Amino acid sequence: MRVPRMIAVALAGVAILAPAACSSDDPAAPGSPAGAADEPSAVPAPTPEPTHPFTGLPGAARKPVLAVKIENTSAGKPQLGLKSADVVYVEQVEAGLTRLMAIFSSKIPAKIGPVRSARISDLHIVPQFGRPAFAYSGAQTKMLPFIAEAPLFDVSDSREPGAYFRQPGRFAPYNLFANTRRLLAGAPKATKARDIGFTFGDPPEGGVPRKTYSVRYPAARFTFGWSETAGKWLIWQDGKKDMAAEGGQLGAPTIVVQYTKTERSQFHDKNQSYTPLVHSTGKGRAIVLRDGQAFKARWSRPKEKDGTVFTTEAGEAMNFAPGQVWVVLASAKPVIP
């Protein structure tokens, strides 16, 4: 008796399901397009990956900012670590020479150098980075109170001596290098990377093709030459290739020649050569080199805590090419020492 009953139940189930199986042949309900159930659901557009505010390259991580004062004469070359910098500033110092301040955050090398002494212009540049760690080797005695009051964490060789070492094969004072891990350990609350005014993206209209562009200081000369192969502006200083200790010629996708007011400061060296004071706040003109072209631009930085905004002459954003940026703080009338 069980078997026939089970068969009857199974047949009843088939009878119930049969109309549903044929429902696709029924006309669509009013207002519903035929086959609507087969249409794929809309796929949301992918969210663009966050980019780093210093380089415009992909990367959501925001690491602490480390600013380092680097030697820039032939006696201190080749420098170590510059290839990893996000931003490199070129500043005029005494005797018409130049020194660099390298900004690291997205990529920090293990060692950097040669590390040299601080200048008053540094203290006017760093506030836009919040309160970064600042590595340097010494400063004029009467400048020390200015450093103590500046918005930075002092990780100089006098404050963090264990972070510094003498590099074999070089001679003093051009042989002082630093371990970046130890430098940052001395500034655990250093400000993380944030917007400093740079914008990245496609170039604007109005660029003029250039193969080279030169900037002169009283006792130094930089030439930037576009390399299509490398996709960057390679750097020559005083007629020689600017080589990196890691190998290869230094260069960057974007070179910003920022023309500023430069004058003598209250400081001078032992030879009575005055230290130039570079005014990196205010506004002025600039030349932006990218993609083998030169663009006329304007810059504006109302206050020291503000970032530096670059625009085209028409007032639109002056986009940089993603990657390292060199900011050459130049003057139409360089200060004669």
Please tell me the predicted confidence (pLDDT) of residue 130: 97
**pLDDT band with cut points at 50, 70 and 90 for residue 335:** low
pLDDT tens track for 243-261: 999 999 999 999 999 999 9
Please tell me the predicted confidence (pLDDT) of residue 235: 98
Amino acid at 120: I
Residue 82 has pLDDT above 50, yes or no: yes
Residue 53 has pLDDT above 90, yes or no: yes
CB atoms within 10 A of CB 17: 9
Q: Which residues pair with 302 in a beta bridge?
A: none
Mean pLDDT to the nearest integer, 183-206: 97
Q: Which residues pair with 263 in a beta bridge?
A: 277
Q: Measure the CA–CA gap between 200 and 58, rounded to whole angstroms.
A: 11
Please tell me the predicted confidence (pLDDT) of residue 68: 98
**pLDDT band with cut points at 50, 70 and 90 for residue 202:** very high
pTM: 0.85
Provide long-range contacts, Cβ within 8 A and 24+ apart, for 299-305.
299/258, 301/128, 301/197, 304/124, 304/127, 304/128, 305/127, 305/128, 305/151
Amino acid at 284: G
Mean pLDDT to the nearest integer, 149-177: 97
pLDDT tens track for 3-42: 444 333 333 443 333 334 333 444 444 444 444 445 556 6
Amino acid at 65: V
Mean pLDDT to the nearest integer, 94-111: 96
The encoded tokens of residue 184 equal 């940052």
- DSSP string across 267-334: EE-TT-PEEEEEE-SEEEEEEEEETTEEEEEEEEESSTTSPPEEEETTSSB-PBPSS-EEEEEE-SSP
Please tell me the predicted confidence (pLDDT) of residue 218: 92
Dihedral angle, C-alpha 256, 257, 259, 260, nearest 10 °: 60
Mean pLDDT to the nearest integer, 40-68: 84
Q: Measure the CA–CA gap between 185 and 82, rounded to whole angstroms.
A: 20
Please tell me the predicted confidence (pLDDT) of residue 264: 84
pLDDT tens track for 215-244: 999 999 999 999 999 999 999 999 999 999
Q: Measure the CA–CA gap between 217 and 105, rounded to whole angstroms.
A: 29
Residue 276 has pLDDT above 60, yes or no: yes
Please tell me the predicted confidence (pLDDT) of residue 1: 41
Q: Which residue has the higher pLDDT, 335 or 110?
A: 110
Q: Measure the CA–CA gap between 190 and 118, rounded to whole angstroms.
A: 18
Please tell me the predicted confidence (pLDDT) of residue 266: 79
- Of 106, 116, 114, nearest in space to 137 by CA: 116
